[in-house]
Amino acid sequence: MPMYTHTVDQKVYAFDGLRDLLAKASPARSGDYLAGIAAADYEERVAAQMALAEVPLARFLSEALIPYETDEVTRLIIDRHDRQAFQAVAHLTVGDFRNWLLSDLATEEALARLAPGLTPEIAAAVSKIMRVQDLILVARKCRVVTAFRTTVGLPGRLSTRLQPNHPTDDPAGVSASVVDGLMYGSGDAVIGINPATDNVGAVMTLIQMLDAIIQRYAIPTQSCVLTHVTTSIEAINRGAPLDLVFQSVAGTEAANRSFGINLAVLREGYEAALSLRRGTVGNNVMYFETGQGSALSANAHHGVDQQTCEARAYAVAREFSPFLVNTVVGFIGPEYLYDGKQIIRAGLEDHFCGKLLGVPMGCDVCYTNHAEADQNDMDMLLTLLGVAGINFVMGIPGSDDVMLNYQTTSFHDALYVRKVLGARPAPEFEAWLERAGIFSGDGRLLADTTPGPFLDSIRKLGA
Amino acid sequence: MSDIVTKNPWNTLTRFTQARIALGRAGTSLPTRPHLEFQFAHARARNAVHHPLDEGALCAALAARGLPNFVVHSAAPDRATYLQRPDLGRVPSEASQASLTTFGTAGFDVAIVVVDGLSAFAIEQNVLPFLDLLVPQLSARDLGLAPVAVVRQGRVAIGDPIARALGAKLVIVLIGERPGLSSPDSMGIYMTWSPVAGTTDAQRNCISNVRRDGLSYDEAVYKLMYLVSEAFRRGLSGVMLKDETASQALLAGGAGGNFLLE
């Protein structure tokens, strides 16, 4: 393993290979301390960043962090690397690459051409020497547009996943949250439920119900039940009207194994969903979730820092041309991301790395009650991600997920960020909102509070 | 005030879900009342995480019930460390480890380990009324009960070394669960047969959400005694031992009606 060194005032800082260098250069977070791989102090961290800035990008193509022979995610990264695309930046060091990204040379078109030439390790490396404003500025220049029944990621648009979770998957309970969300203009990325059980029968019931709602009210959107990929495959085999196949993915083969998946299973799910041809304006059919710390949590990180592991998960995601990918940034708990400061930085890193690699990034801007975080931290992250051009965020009633017991962004939150940034929902969904009398003609404000399309159903219930 | 806030005329849907629907809006933002109600719920959950367990009061109450007890500190010295180092919460501190050896391995049947976990509120509210129902049932089955351990800054797995030190065949850990916005005082129960170092969660049985507004003490004791009896009969716990008393509520999701599709 080659040593990387940096000398400041005669003090030599030495790092044992790229893996150690990346871990020590990573901005402070509890998960890397828990793994015992973080910098020992403030000076060592910046010295590592200085050493990292001198490393040629090409070095990342020859020094694998996790061996090619033992990890299929490493093999995927190396085998899929586009050397032609890489040529544009092949002569640069990590430090020069940061300068290039910030410069006017890195246009939207240049960044799109470059994406297949970048590896997750390169994206993670440069992110570690970037400040928050750098992560925002560069991510904003990256555009990743995907489509199924709506088009997500267009300029000036910000979409939401309507997340109508219920502790027992009660159909009326789920539908009550669906109505609430639609009336607040939520759901253009997906109407996506975390089911209470992986039982295939119960999952099929939910898929059929969401499909029936979408058809009955002619809503241009797609549904997803966030169950294991193998359960979705089984549901497809049994004839379920399934739009998007979901799966949590991580950045190492061993972590994915702990999720009960590998690349072959993901490909099987991808091809099963494609075969249904249910998209109307596009055929991106996969929905992936990720999050820093998942590899460490599965004891499958191989000494690689959690942010680099996370970037590697995006290589897994992009292999399957996903419709949606989101980091669930604050869900995992304070042993990985301790407080609002760490959660905010991590959310922006994840969005930046994903977009740089060509992945349609969204974010579950969220926290648990044992993290040192609150609604103010979420407002900051939501606002920053909105400015950075995030494709989508979550929407739940009043920020309170009564099934998963955590807090994420609300329907109101999405309207706030759309309002202050002048952002609008996906065009197909926006047209429906106007037809349904939910949004007024200017595409932003709620026209009135009549639950127009749902009025009859609600009236029948009585007072 | 009231006409500044736009109400949502679908209040009737709140009968179907605990989710915070039909909150209304000020402009397009959350009105003051639901905003502050949320802040209070979060404050209560935060207090639950940081409220220190009053171990003196708990130990005295246990003694008054004729239950011998002792205090164990985990290797996590404070709350901030505890939250960031789950590994330290799974083992006793050096001092506690030393004191554990004084019990000798007397060969008890059952060890009860009470742990603050992520909500000392949950323990302070639930553990005594729960034990008042549980202990007589254990005695009725002639199960020898070890002194009750009261643990500060602990995680579930700290029950394993404690039970081993006591020479107990089976350990019942009562622990404060991660507080939810509407459930700051939820107690969890973890039962493990023949706990050893390296015991994984797959070898435990869990009963969750024990609290006044959740799973009742009676029902929790009923489920636990079923699991305890089966564990002693079959000599195992965990995924091989299903809770056959479990309700089928989760599988019944498709059974109810749906106002949107009728």
Q: Which residue of B has its CA nearest to A168?
A: B250
Residue of B5, B6, B14, B17 to mutate, testing the A interface (most A Cβ within 10 Å of its Cβ) = B17
Amino acid at A139: A
CB pairs under 8 A between A and B: 189
Give me the pLDDT at residue B252, please. Answer: 45
pTM listed for this prediction = 0.94
Amino acid A148: pLDDT: 98
Structure tokens given for A170: 């009660």
Tell whether A99 is within 8 A of chain B (Cβ). Answer: no
For position A2, what pLDDT does the model report? 80
With tokens 């973080």, the residue in question is A38
pLDDT tens for each residue of chain B, 262 residues long: 458 999 998 999 999 999 999 999 999 999 999 999 999 999 999 999 999 999 999 999 999 999 999 999 999 999 999 999 999 999 999 999 988 887 766 689 999 999 999 999 999 999 999 999 999 999 999 999 999 999 999 999 999 999 999 999 999 999 999 999 988 899 999 999 999 877 888 889 999 889 988 889 999 999 999 999 999 999 999 878 877 664 444 444 445 689 999 8
Instruction: Compute the distance between CA of residue A22 and CA of residue B18 in angstroms, rounded to an integer.
Output: 45
Of A171, A335, A412, Cβ closest to residue B85: A335
Distance from CA of A439 to the nearest CA of B (A): 12
Q: How far apart are CA A98 and CA A200, in angstroms?
A: 47
B78-95 in b/e form (b: 16+ CB < 10 A) is: ebeebbbbbebbbbbbee
User: Do the chains contact at B28 and A167, CB–CB below 8 Å?
Assistant: no
Q: Which of B46, B84, B251 sits opposite A30 (nearest CB)?
A: B84
Chain B stretch 31-90, residues whose beta carbon is closer than 8 A to a beta carbon of chain A: 34, 38-39, 41-42, 45-46, 48-49, 83-87
Q: Say whether A90 sits in a helix, a strand or coil.
A: coil
Interface test with A, best of B16, B182, B209 (most A CBs within 10 A): B16
- How far apart are the C-alpha atoms of B122 and A399, rounded to whole Å? 24
> Distance between CA A95 and CA A49 in Å, rounded?
9
Residue in B9, B251, B253 closest to A170 by CB:
B253
* Residues forming a β-bridge with A191: A162, A223
Residue A449 pLDDT = 65
For β-strands A245-248 and A286-290, DSSP reports them as: parallel
According to the model, what pLDDT value does residue A238 have? 96
Q: Which of A30, A165, A170 to mutate to test the interface with B (most CBs of B within 10 A)?
A: A170
Helix (H, G, I), strand (E, B) or coil at A3: strand
Number of Cβ within 10 Å of residue B233's Cβ equals 9
Indicate which of B28, B90, B178, B182 best probes the interface with A, i.e. most A CBs within 10 Å of its own CB. B28
Phi, psi (5° rounding) for residue B226?
-60, -45
Q: How far is B247 from chain A (nearest CA, A)?
A: 11
**pLDDT tens digit string along A212-223?**
999 999 999 999
The partner residue sitting opposite B251, judged by closest CB among A173, A199, A375, is A199
> Which residues of chain A have a pLDDT value below 70?
1, 443-445, 447-449, 463
Nearest alpha carbon to residue B128 among B229, B36, B53, B37: B53
Q: What is the pLDDT of residue B251?
A: 45
**Rounded Cα–Cα distance for residues A183 and B9 (Å):** 11
Partner A contacted by B19 (CB < 8 A): yes
- The pLDDT of residue B248 is 43
ipTM, 2 decimals?
Answer: 0.94
- To 5 degrees, how large is the angle CA B231–CA B236–CA B238? 95
Q: Angle CA(B60)–CA(B63)–CA(B67) in degrees, nearest 5?
A: 140
B238 Cβ under 8 Å from any chain A Cβ: no
Contacts of A446 in chain B (CB under 8 A): 6, 25, 28
H or E segment and range at residue A13: strand A11-16
Asked if A283 and A152 count as a contact pair (C-beta separation under 8 A), the reply is no
* Model confidence pLDDT, tens digit, residues A279-332: 999 999 999 999 999 999 999 999 999 999 999 999 999 999 999 999 999 999
